[in-house]
Amino acid sequence: MKKEYPKFKRGEVERYFSELPKKEQTEIEDYVRYRQARGITSNNPLMDLRRHVIQLRFIFGEPISKLTLKDLREYLALLTRAKLKEHTKNDIKVNIKNFLKYKFKDWSQRFTELEDIRLSSNTRNEEKLNSKTILKKEDIETLMKNESKMFWKAFFITQYEAGLRTKETRLLKWDDIKFNVDGEISEILIFATKTKKARPVFVKEATHYLKLLKEQQERTEEKGVYVFHSKSDLNKPIDRNSISVWMRGLSKKCGIHCWNYLLRHSRATELYRLAKQGKIAKDTALAFMGHSADMSEVYTHLDESEIKKMLKDQVYKLEELPPKEKREFEEKLEELSKKQESLQAELESRKDYDSVLNDLLSLPQVQEILKRKKKLGVVGK
């Protein structure tokens, strides 16, 4: 085992990998393919997990098959002291934990449930929340547009629009959703994981994607208790590590620095800005987010009418439309297209008329007649 967590230079990890026995190289590449088959399709997350496993092998200094609980704890101690950002350490821990579960069938007994691998909760301190990091309307549109899977589209827009904590989104059940309680707006009953209180929230954009996800899950017989279920068990919520890996990949793909908590914080900022502008009551914003003005204050009742009006006034340019709206849009587009063709034909006809008229006016005989009219004071051609 190395004495400290090394600073890897560019290309050093790959050079070390090329020197490993073929059997170990194959094992690592097989793991990468396994994770790819499990849903990680973006290149960067795949390269990260591959690099982190190779780094573990380099620091340990022996085949990973020989790793013991004592060795793992020594490795984690080195990682804790390493001069790396907290979110980078968390990423490494997640990837190592997943690899050890894959590598060792007896991982639970061998590494005591891997309870030593704990993620730091202090990453928010370095991920400062300010006007520069808050997501803008166009950021939301870009992130939605670049996510191809309906599962993640629905997760993203639901967490953002409802201003949910990530755990609240993960634990959302189909029975908690009342679709179209007011036209295109749906109601979601949330049991706050932090305050342990229930509150209703309303969503408009998310309604469409949640409906599509429900239809997809029913069609493929993958509908369970939870809206965002685990890939291995339909009746268990998706784990937070999968959420982190997905969001990291999407944000890198779009070139937008984003993490899940930022969705909630951005929505809160948006609501409190509306309250400051007098468009909704401050109490409404507080209740929607599950916040209180101080630790002792009891939440006020949510003014549903204000929230619904606010949602109806908001317009996002997301690339998908409900079938009915899409048909109406296509019909209007076709009508406008026909009008354009008609006007174009009329314009072309007018051009031909003007061309013939100009040719006539240029004839010597016509020019002579015009000169005589001018002398006689006759107005017009």
The dihedral formed by the CA atoms of 151, 156, 159 and 160, expressed in degrees to the nearest 10: -150
Beta strands 185-191 and 177-182 are antiparallel
Average pLDDT (61-89) is 91
| CA–CA separation, 365 and 269 (whole Å) | 78
What letter represents residue 259's amino acid? W
Residue pair 90/120 in contact (Cβ under 8 Å)? The answer is yes
Residue 216 has pLDDT above 60, yes or no: yes
Residue 279 or residue 258, greater confidence: 258
User: What are the tokens at 236?
Assistant: 């268990």
What letter represents residue 271's amino acid? L
What is the pLDDT, as a whole number, of residue 360? 65
Residue 325 has pLDDT above 80, yes or no: no
Residue 5 has pLDDT above 70, yes or no: yes
Task: Using pLDDT thresholds of 50, 70 and 90, give the confidence band for residue 272.
Answer: confident
| CA–CA separation, 34 and 285 (whole Å) | 44
Tokens 């800005």, residue located: 273
User: What are the tokens at 169?
Assistant: 């989104």
Residue 332 or residue 130, greater confidence: 332
Residue 202 has pLDDT above 50, yes or no: yes
Task: Using pLDDT thresholds of 50, 70 and 90, give the confidence band for residue 300.
Answer: very low
Tokens 């949330």, residue located: 190
What is the pLDDT, as a whole number, of residue 266? 84
Task: Look at residues 184, 132, 135, 178 and name the one whose alpha carbon lies nearest to residue 160.
Answer: 135
Share of the chain above pLDDT 70, in %: 70
Residue pair 316/141 in contact (Cβ under 8 Å)? The answer is yes
What is the pLDDT, as a whole number, of residue 175? 94
Residue 340 has pLDDT above 80, yes or no: no
What is the pLDDT, as a whole number, of residue 349? 63
Tell me the CATH class for 137-313: mainly alpha
Model confidence pLDDT, tens digit, residues 218-262: 999 999 999 999 988 999 999 988 999 999 999 998 888 888 888
Share of the chain above pLDDT 90, in %: 38
DSSP letters for 321-360: --HHHHHHHHHHHHHHHHHHHHHHHHHHHHHHHHHHHHHH
What is the pLDDT, as a whole number, of residue 381? 45
Model confidence pLDDT, tens digit, residues 115-174: 898 887 655 444 555 566 788 888 989 999 999 999 999 999 999 988 888 999 999 999
- Cβ neighbours of 377 (radius 10 Å): 6
Domain boundary assignment for the chain: 12-126, 137-313, 323-376
- Cβ neighbours of 200 (radius 10 Å): 17
Most confident of 89-93, 279-283, 350-354: 89-93
Task: Using pLDDT thresholds of 50, 70 and 90, give the confidence band for residue 297.
Answer: very low
| pTM of the complete model | 0.48
Model confidence pLDDT, tens digit, residues 25-50: 999 999 999 988 887 766 778 888 99
